[in-house]
Structure 1
Amino acid sequence: MILETQRLILREFTVHDLEDIHVYASNPMVVKHMMWGPNTKEDTQDYMDRVLSMQKQEPRQEFELAAVIKDTKQLVGGCGIYRSKPSQGEIGYCFHSAFWGKGFASEAADRLLEFGFSELGLHRIFATCRPGNLGSAKVMQKIGMKYEGHIREHMWHKGSWHDSFQYSILENEHRIKA
């Protein structure tokens, strides 16, 4: 599966991507607001094994894709969409810090919305971020998602409870935006 944006190719991960993934997944700054990481080599290999397993699902429920810059063919991050019932999905994204603030996450996330609504037939797509992750919140706002609320201390990680902000967009809202 390949999805394209103006500047990115979103494609299936392959075993050859392991080192590129590990570069950003092991960076403490990149994973500061994530519920995983920083990754060890073993963590990144476990992730790769899960991603390759996802690709074999029938019917497919989870899509983790490599974000590659078209011009340079450089893998700069990953993004995904995960189906749940009834007709809902969640998107997520993680990019190498050298590529923050350049619009790549927004571009990838917006393409995932299009894929979710047009190809997967979803009704609602949501995303979450930690309250301190203002960059991710801006991505969700930029792609037309609406703030739904502050979910308090619902995730345990790295020895403490974490909050999330939740955003969503409905298919008819996305259609109007497009």
Structure 2
Amino acid sequence: MEDQPPYPLQTPRLLLREFRLEDFDDIHAYATDPLTVRYMDWGPNTEQVTHEFLERQIAQQATWPRRDFSYAVELLAERKVIGSVRLGLSDHRNADFGYSLGSAYWGVGLGAEAARALVNLAFDRFDAHRVWASCDTRNRRSFGVMEKLGLRREGTLRQNQPAHEGGWRDTHIYAVLAHEWAARRNA
């Protein structure tokens, strides 16, 4: 681990940065959107839940060193937080990531742009050997992002998460290895 947390990360259209108290309204807007949270294991949020989320993120940011990094996703053109992403480091040089963007920002490549920054971070700064992500099997947009980035579906976990509408949901697991990522970047 290096001396400083890996904040901020900038992509052509996004700033992945630490959370701030003044982000509450933006976060609450996407966290209450039924389309945004449809396949997540959280939401739609109450104001209390959004406050708790934001307080947890800010408290975590004050801790160093750590193995989990959450970022507010700010759309540079609007100076607005439109979602959040997370990178978690685990044993054996594995890392996992996740993302959630407000539904108004889907379909224009922002999810892939943010996720690519996290995968690059995992391999370049943290020397990951394998980076993986998961999603609800019904969430075609999410696994579309993973496939666009070159992650391969490794399998499906059956009925491993509670579903929003009750019952259980299945989860796809996607991953990419360091040498595969390097080959894609150099192609």
TM-score range, shorter chain: over 0.9
Unaligned stretches of 5+ residues in structure 2:
1-6
Asked if residue 154 in structure 1 is aligned to residue 160 in structure 2, the reply is: yes
**Equivalent of residue 96 in structure 1, options 90, 99, 102:** 102
* 1:12 equivalent in alignment to 2:21: no
C-alpha displacement of 1:65:
0.6
**Aligned residues, how many?**
178
- Let me know the Cα RMSD of the aligned residues: 1.1
1:52 counterpart letter in structure 2: I
Q: Could you say what secondary structure the match of 2:23 adopts?
A: helix
5+ residue gaps, structure 1: none
- Looking at structure 2, the residues matched to 162 and 57 of structure 1 have their Cα atoms a distance apart, in angstroms, of 34
Please give the TM-score of this superposition, normalised by the length of structure 2.
Answer: 0.91
| Aligned-partner SS, 1:29 | helix
- What are the equivalent positions in structure 2 for 1:125-164 lying under 5 Å apart? 125-158=131-164, 159-164=166-171
- Map of 1:1-178 to 2, 5 A cutoff? 1-158=7-164, 159-178=166-185
Of all paired residues, the percent bearing the same amino acid is 35
Aligned-partner Cα distance in 2 for 1:123–1:53 = 29
TM-score by length of 1: 0.96
Distance in 1 separating the partners of 2:140 and 2:60? 30
